[in-house]
Amino acid sequence: MGNNKGHVVSVNGNMVNVEFTGAITKNEVGYIILGNTRLKSEVIRINSNIASLQVYEMTGGVAVGDEVEFTGELLSAELGPGLLTQIYDGLQNPLPQLAEECGFFLQRGVYLTAIPDKNWDFTPVCKVGDTVVAGDTLGTVPEGVFTHKIMVPFDLLGEWKVVSIVKSGNYNVRSTIATIENENGVKKDLSMVFEWPVKKAIKCYEERLRPDETMVTKIRLIDTFLPVAKGGTYCIPGPFGAGKTVLQHLTSKNADVDIVIIAACGERAGEVVEVLKEFPELIDPKTGRSLMERTIIICNTSSMPVAAREASVYTAVTLAEYYRNMGLDVLLLADSTSRWAQAMREMSGRLEEIPGEEAFPAYLESKIAEFYERAGKVRLKDGTTASVTIGGTVSPAGGNFEEPVTQATLKVVGAFHGLSRERSDARKYPAIDPLESWSKYEGVLPADKVSKAYSILLRGNEVNQMMKVVGEEGTSLEDYIIYQKGELLDSVYLQQNSFDPVDAAVVVERQVETFDVLYDILMSNFALDDKKDVRLFFNRVRQAFLDWNGTAQDDKAYSSRKDELITLYKEKVRG
């Protein structure tokens, strides 16, 4: 505990102004003493000898003159084995244990140890006399299906020599496993656990690389037309109820990554309960075990003020960077960053800062950019590559993509998956609007073919808009066929049946096979006599395609249904 103290001079919601003595720093943790209760807070502004603190608890009962103790430590996350499978709040308190201790209603001022106090089978990989630097591996422990690297704390500067290290064996997570010494004779005892400030990016890697590898989601629309790269960033804006959370959940189940971290920073209890109930029961297709074994969930509780939304976002990205440093691919899903932005707006108002557009703080863009910039693909010191991919949902009021949070996010992300109320109401899954959305990354299929297919979709939409004015009768047969081709592409490829175990998640090899057949249809000229003939033909092709989509690849009917589809459309191809 630091020696600096202060006392409360004013209270404004969850912002408290404190007069202090000594020296403190921004983002330092302070505790407001309220009898036997200590309320955790963070310094967000210092003006002379007055510090503004945002309090991560309800401030009822806090009065002028109450004592405040500063710790001398920044707001940090605890890193080490045991993070996987955990459910935390924004301050990294394990919620199940918190519920056991406090009961149904969580109490203020109760803070628990983030990493479980248990033993791990430690295997050293370095020996006495070795020289190590920050981020180097001291040893390993098995954590589920992963090999968890026990690393030299990231904040140690310069070279250190290993003075002692334990032999292979079973040790408590907080026991000393190694002692290191620098050239000045300063010694440090290291355990399997250390802390890292959540608002400071972890940069213990050799080089930052261009995100050039597709993160497969098994959702055809995304992997083909709107791809996401490992180490890239993307956002999913959309009106309420359009399917943002559903899309994120299915992405977390099927994405080609090692670790999934869900930051439910919006206090939306229904979706969080669904995650907590579903994930332990879901079988991970990668491991055959519970999906929860490679997942960390961070969610706010309703008993915490909105300031905790910010803490949960930063805690989540810090844990993601930590696992990236082990050589793993991590997917971080933040739902919803709009709530975080609203928390910033509320705090900015209490700080009496000059407001920007729609009363959001003027620094909104830079804060959002700082968060997404912590994603990335990196090359580690051992030559392996690893990544943190960040996908954030945005909840613009009324589905208005012109509002500040959406626009600030679009400036920094590499892919935009805009959800449409019209497609959502039509029960199209995913409800991503393919004509409004975009991606800067490379997908799983050749770009030239995808571009030609997209042009069919675009032209089909133009014909559809024209038909709304002049009717079907005023449309030429050629344009009507283009319209039907666009509808076929939408219904059999862009849409999936999330209730069908086969069609809900489609592997890359099958996506390629399906697209090749569809592309041949889109590029073919058909000998069709009139619009009735066109409708009947495309309806038959659509149904044959859907039957094939719902057939498992190991099913005997798979090849025959594909052959039937090909025969059906080739009969009408103009010679």
CATH 2.40.50.100 in the chain: give the residue spans: 116-192
Residue ranges of the annotated binding site for ATP are 238-245
pLDDT at 288 over 80: no
pLDDT at 167 over 70: yes
Tell me the C-alpha distance between 470 and 492, whole Å: 27
Residue ranges of the annotated binding site are 238-245
Q: What's the pLDDT tens digit per position in 547-566?
A: 999 999 999 999 999 999 99
* Cβ atoms within 10 Å, residue 99: 14
At 121 the pLDDT is: 97
Give the CATH fold of the 447-570 domain.
Answer: 1.10.1140
pTM: 0.94
The architecture in CATH of the region 207-439 reads 3-Layer(aba) Sandwich (3.40)
CATH 2.40.10.170 in the chain: give the residue spans: 5-74
Q: What's the pLDDT tens digit per position in 490-523?
A: 999 999 998 898 999 999 999 999 999 999 999 9
CATH 3.40.50.300 in the chain: give the residue spans: 207-439
At 406 the pLDDT is: 94
Least confident of 283-292, 324-333, 383-392, 404-413: 283-292
pLDDT at 247 over 70: yes
pLDDT at 306 over 80: no
Q: State percent of the chain over pLDDT 70.
A: 97
Give the CATH fold of the 5-74 domain.
Answer: Thrombin, subunit H (2.40.10)
Give buried/exposed letters for 358-373 (b at 16+ CB in 10 A, else e): eebbeebbebbeebbe
Give yes or no for a contact between 214 and 443, defined as CB atoms under 8 angstroms apart: yes
> What beta strand segments (E) does 89-198 contain?
119-124, 131-132, 137-143, 146-151, 160-165, 169-172, 178-182, 187-190, 194-197
Q: Are strands 67-74 and 28-34 parallel, antiparallel or unpaired?
A: antiparallel
Q: What is the CATH number of domain 116-192?
A: 2.40.50.100
CATH 1.10.1140.10 in the chain: give the residue spans: 447-570
Tell me the C-alpha distance between 68 and 70, whole Å: 7
Residue 425 backbone phi and psi in degrees, to 5: -65, -30
